[in-house]
């Protein structure tokens, strides 16, 4: 059995009420880590332009089902961890507000002590494009499910506030506290996307993630002497409830491994980067996507 060295470490995971964040939280708990979950419930009506009635009726993956997932609390994840004897706590907050970043660390430290591991997974994703509205009206849906809008200052700022600025501030906050207490072991794992290089039809999401990859490499150079490794996971398409079965079947055939990812596939890579086995790896972007990008 591989010894990860994660027992009794404190892991702070953002966006942990569903999908990759939830799977990562459970994976850390199984390794004996103490887990602090951050999350934010998003309104289906305000965030997705979909009625609560449609969400309540959704029984299989797709738009309605997905917006039901992101509107839930972290209680299911917390319950699953505690049922297995794990230690966890949570706090709901919007990381678009910079003041919530130090508060998040304060709350984690009040409960478990110093934070050893940060997983920056929380994300804002509402499709925008350079196509003008007059043309967009002819074909307004991304993958036939999600409405697109022409990029604006607002859509740009919404993505970069959560996907980039919050991640940067999480790195800075972790580094300052780590260095102040003269710690010598730390892990930061940032979640990107394999569409970061150029994400047509979802341009601000992709660009905000690409910026995180640059920040991560710079931080790895600067913080390595303090014992902090910083790595990025770049997932391919992961079924977190957003793809209809028909869409998943149609597109997965283009992947070399002939399937889309599961949240657990990404969680496995997160655990690796946090573990002792990855002690001499930093500043790297690992594509975890069934061979979709090599």
Q: Count of CB atoms within 10 A of residue 174's CB?
A: 25
- Sequence-distant (≥ 6) Cβ neighbours of residue 105 within 8 angstroms: 12, 115, 173, 174, 177
Structural domain that includes position 247: 45-63+95-288
CA distance 186 to 115: 8
Residue with tokens 């494009």: 129
Q: Residue 164 falls within a domain, yes or no?
A: yes
Q: Residue 249 falls within a domain, yes or no?
A: yes
Q: Is 130 helix (H, G, I), strand (E, B) or coil?
A: coil
Mean pLDDT of 10-14: 98
Q: Residue 88 falls within a domain, yes or no?
A: no
Is 255 an annotated catalytic residue?
A: no
Of 18, 15, 21, which Cα lies nearest the Cα of 39?
15
Q: What is the pLDDT at residue 2?
A: 78
Q: What is the pLDDT at residue 1?
A: 58
Q: Residue 22 falls within a domain, yes or no?
A: no
Digit-coded pLDDT (tens) for 151-169: 999 999 999 999 999 999 9
Full-model pTM: 0.96
CA distance 268 to 272: 6
- At 176, which CATH number? 3.40.50.720
Q: Residue 12 falls within a domain, yes or no?
A: no
Q: Which of 39, 66, 205, 215 is catalytic?
A: 205
Q: Residue 81 falls within a domain, yes or no?
A: no
The domain total for the chain is: 1
Tokens of residue 59, six digits: 């029984």
Digit-coded pLDDT (tens) for 14-24: 999 999 999 99
Expressed in angstroms, the distance from the first to the final Cα of the chain is 29
CA distance 291 to 157: 32
The Cα-based distances of 217 to 160, 229, 240 in angstroms read: 18, 10, 28
pLDDT at 207 over 70: yes
CA 219 to chain CA mean position, Å: 18
Q: What is the pLDDT at residue 266?
A: 98
Q: What is the DSSP letter of 77?
A: H
Q: Residue 50 falls within a domain, yes or no?
A: yes
* 265 confidence band (pLDDT: 50, 70, 90): very high
* Mean per-residue pLDDT over the chain, rounded: 96
- Sequence-distant (≥ 6) Cβ neighbours of residue 143 within 8 angstroms: 243, 247
Mean pLDDT of 35-55: 91
Q: Residue 84 falls within a domain, yes or no?
A: no
* 247 confidence band (pLDDT: 50, 70, 90): confident
Q: What is the pLDDT at residue 144?
A: 81
* Range scoring the smallest mean pLDDT among 82-91, 135-144, 149-158: 135-144
């Amino acid at each position: 059995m591989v010894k990860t060295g994660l027992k009794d470490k404190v892991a702070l995971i953002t966006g942990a009420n569903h999908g990759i964040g939830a799977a990562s939280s459970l994976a850390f708990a199984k390794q004996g880590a103490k887990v602090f979950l951050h999350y934010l419930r998003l309104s289906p009506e305000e965030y997705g332009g979909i009625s609560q009635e449609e969400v309540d009726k959704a029984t299989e993956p797709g738009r309605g089902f997905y917006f039901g997932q992101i509107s839930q609390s972290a209680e299911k994840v917390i319950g699953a961890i505690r049922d297995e004897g794990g230690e966890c706590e949570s706090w709901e907050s919007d990381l678009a507000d910079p003041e919530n970043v130090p508060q998040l660390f304060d709350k984690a430290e009040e409960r478990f002590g110093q934070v050893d591991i940060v997983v920056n997974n929380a994300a804002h994703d509402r499709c925008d494009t350079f196509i003008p509205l007059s043309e967009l009206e002819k074909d307004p849906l991304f993958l036939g499910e999600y409405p697109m809008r022409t990029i604006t200052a607002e859509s740009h700022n919404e993505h970069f506030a959560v996907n980039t600025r919050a991640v940067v501030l999480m790195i800075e906050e972790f580094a300052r506290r780590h260095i102040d207490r003269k710690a010598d072991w730390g892990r930061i794992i940032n979640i990107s996307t394999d569409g970061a290089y150029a994400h047509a039809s979802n341009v601000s999401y992709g660009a905000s993630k690409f910026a995180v990859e640059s920040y991560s490499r710079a931080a790895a150079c600067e913080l390595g002497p303090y014992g902090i490794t910083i790595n990025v996971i770049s997932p391919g398409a992961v079924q977190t409830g957003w793809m209809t079965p028909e869409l998943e079947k149609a597109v997965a055939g283009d992947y070399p491994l002939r399937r889309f990812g599961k949240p657990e596939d990404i969680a496995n890579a997160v655990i690796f980067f946090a573990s002792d086995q990855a002690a001499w790896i930093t500043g790297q972007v690992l594509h975890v996507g069934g061979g979709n990008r090599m």
